């Protein structure tokens, strides 16, 4: 079966799950029923919306890429590199953050185009599918097998929790294309679980799933679990990551994680505001 056929099956499955979940108001939260575009930045023109989206994303990207935990990692690598390593690494990361912010800004500004508004009036589920496939850029920051603390990933979980929205779409224009589904489980008005699933079509006989779960524990505590598994003739689990996060009243972050792979590792760190 061709890759295109596999993607058609994948898209159909995502839309079917989304259509079913939209009726399960007790379990899966699917917004508040309002027809607003997903993650559409404010503005009357495309340029205005891009400007708002770019400003928001560049602040998030720089905060994520230059987070103290990341900088400390670079410092550990420095002794094994040449004298210009830190300068080159900083320049490369800043350039990547700027270019990614521009691309994200363009994508978010596009979700409010007239064609999608027209489609929203006639077929809301399909319109949301295209909007999420173009926008919902924060979803790409979710890294189930990364044991480090990622501010952009935590921002995605927070937005998902606050808006109570089911997100679903595809990312076809990547080196590793995938379909995704994000959801919120609630008990009454209390969020009990946030979930994110990615499906990578490898071949007709090989399928890979990435699963990330986030459990709010209260008092600033959060537990994140991530794993990846490939089904098929060469089926195998790629690893398991468990992260415990604590947001301090001072604005700091306490982070403890365990990576269970061929060589298990434990990571711990604390960041305090100046």
What pairs with residue 273 in β-bridges?
none
Q: What tens digit of pLDDT does each residue of 27-58 get?
A: 444 344 443 445 567 888 888 989 999 999 99
Measured distance CA(71)–CA(85) in Å, rounded: 12
pLDDT at 179: 94
Max CA distance (Å), the chain? 60
What's the chain's average pLDDT? 80
Looking at residue 124, its pLDDT comes to: 67
- In this prediction the pTM is 0.76
pLDDT of residue 131: 82
Per-residue pLDDT tens over the stretch 261-274: 777 888 888 887 76
**Residue 23 pLDDT:** 46
Going by pLDDT thresholds of 50, 70 and 90, the confidence category of residue 188 is confident
């Amino acid at each position: 079966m061709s890759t295109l056929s596999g993607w058609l099956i994948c898209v159909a499955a995502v839309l079917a799950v989304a259509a079913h979940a939209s009726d399960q108001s007790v379990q899966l939260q699917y917004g508040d029923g309002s027809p607003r575009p997903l993650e559409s930045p404010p503005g009357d023109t495309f340029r205005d919306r891009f400007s708002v989206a770019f400003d928001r994303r560049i602040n998030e990207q720089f905060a994520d890429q230059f987070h103290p935990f990341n900088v400390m990692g670079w410092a550990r690598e420095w002794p094994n590199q040449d004298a210009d390593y830190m300068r080159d690494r900083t320049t490369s990361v800043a350039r990547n953050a700027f270019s990614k912010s521009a691309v994200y800004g363009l994508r978010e500004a596009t979700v409010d185009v007239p064609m999608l508004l027209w489609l929203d009036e006639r077929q809301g589920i399909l319109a949301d599918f295209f909007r999420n496939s173009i926008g919902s850029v924060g979803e790409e920051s979710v890294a189930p097998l990364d044991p480090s603390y990622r501010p952009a990933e935590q921002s995605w979980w927070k937005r998902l929790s606050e808006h109570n929205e089911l997100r679903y779409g595809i990312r076809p224009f990547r080196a590793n294309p995938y379909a995704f589904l994000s959801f919120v489980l609630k008990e009454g008005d209390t969020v009990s679980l946030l979930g994110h699933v990615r499906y990578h079509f490898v071949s007709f006989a090989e399928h890979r799933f990435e699963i990330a779960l986030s459990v709010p524990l209260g008092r600033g505590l959060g537990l994140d679990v991530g794993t990846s598994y490939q089904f098929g003739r060469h089926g195998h689990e790629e690893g398991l990551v468990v992260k415990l996060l604590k947001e301090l009243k001072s604005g700091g972050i306490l982070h403890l994680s365990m990576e269970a792979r061929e060589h298990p590792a434990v990571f711990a760190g604390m960041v305090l505001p100046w």
